[in-house]
Amino acid sequence: MPHRMLLLGGTTEATELARALAKDRRIELIVSLAGRTLRPVLATGQLRTGGFGGADGLARYLTDKAIALVIDATHPFAAVMPFNAAAACLRVGVPLLKICRPAWVPTEGDRWTSVSDLHEAAASLVASDARRVLLTTGRQELEPFRGLRGITFFVRSIEPPNLRGFEAATAVLARGPFDLNAERALLSGHEIDVLVSKNSGGAATAAKLEAARELGIEVVMVQRPAMPEVPLVDNVADAQRWISARLMDRSAK
């Protein structure tokens, strides 16, 4: 009998891990997405969509579906789900692993201002003399920027953002990965003077930082939210090793 595994997704790591496990006969994989993206990149495995109803709902789901392992591969900025997963898994005694890619760190030539959240990012734009800002924080993260005056925003997102309330804003619809040439062209073409980014880490969206460094553009970098203290790896290969070890533990029992 294969072991049923729940993979909390929404990231490239989740898609990669699902692909890597597709032919693993020891595992029956269920991939869970929040359902925010209308046309998500589909992973292999059974797909379920939508919230569980908090930690209680997830605990019930784990028990009902006889889940043997949970991998939390949600985004580094998913601030709620990791705590729900930690609480639910602890309560029902299911092993949990979190995959979280390393954060980006500034290198020579970078002009970063680190802020702790999006409100601080918006305040930092007001305090600086930013005029033309590329926002890459996602279409669901626009509230703190909506009322700002005197700034033209370029809002990059996968799906069309709601730009109501912005004095001047243009949508830039695109899905990563993004390459350096395209990022250079975007930043210089729109004469961007400040880039706002969450410190998501990873290769798929890192080119904007390299382009900003080359062009001397300031970056307002939003730091990550807190994470629960659970077993953690920063890449898919280590997650596979952890899964194999847990499956061997189970088989030995």
Q: Which residues bind ligand NAP (CB under 6 A)?
A: 8-11, 32-34, 36, 51-54, 57-58, 74-75, 77-81, 84, 138, 198
Q: Residue of minimal CB distance from ligand NAP?
A: 51
* Contacts for 53 with CB less than 8 Å, ≥ 6 apart: 60
Closest CB 72 distance from ligand NAP, rounded Å: 8
Helix axes 207-215, 180-189, angle to 10 degrees: 50
Closest CB 208 distance from ligand NAP, rounded Å: 15
Which C-beta is closer to ligand NAP: that of 9 or that of 95?
9
Closest CB 121 distance from ligand NAP, rounded Å: 13
Which C-beta is closer to ligand NAP: that of 79 or that of 215?
79
Answer for the pair 117, 222: CB distance below 8 angstroms, yes or no.
yes
Rounded Cα gap, residues 232 and 107, in angstroms: 25
Closest CB 149 distance from ligand NAP, rounded Å: 26
Which C-beta is closer to ligand NAP: that of 34 or that of 133?
34
Rounded Cα gap, residues 65 and 29, in angstroms: 12
Q: Specify the residue for token string 């359902």.
A: 35
Answer for the pair 14, 29: CB distance below 8 angstroms, yes or no.
no
Which C-beta is closer to ligand NAP: that of 36 or that of 111?
36
Which C-beta is closer to ligand NAP: that of 144 or that of 184?
144
Closest CB 159 distance from ligand NAP, rounded Å: 12
Rounded Cα gap, residues 243 and 71, in angstroms: 9
Closest CB 118 distance from ligand NAP, rounded Å: 10
Answer for the pair 187, 195: CB distance below 8 angstroms, yes or no.
yes
CA atoms within 13 A on the CB side of 227: 19
Which C-beta is closer to ligand NAP: that of 193 or that of 219?
219
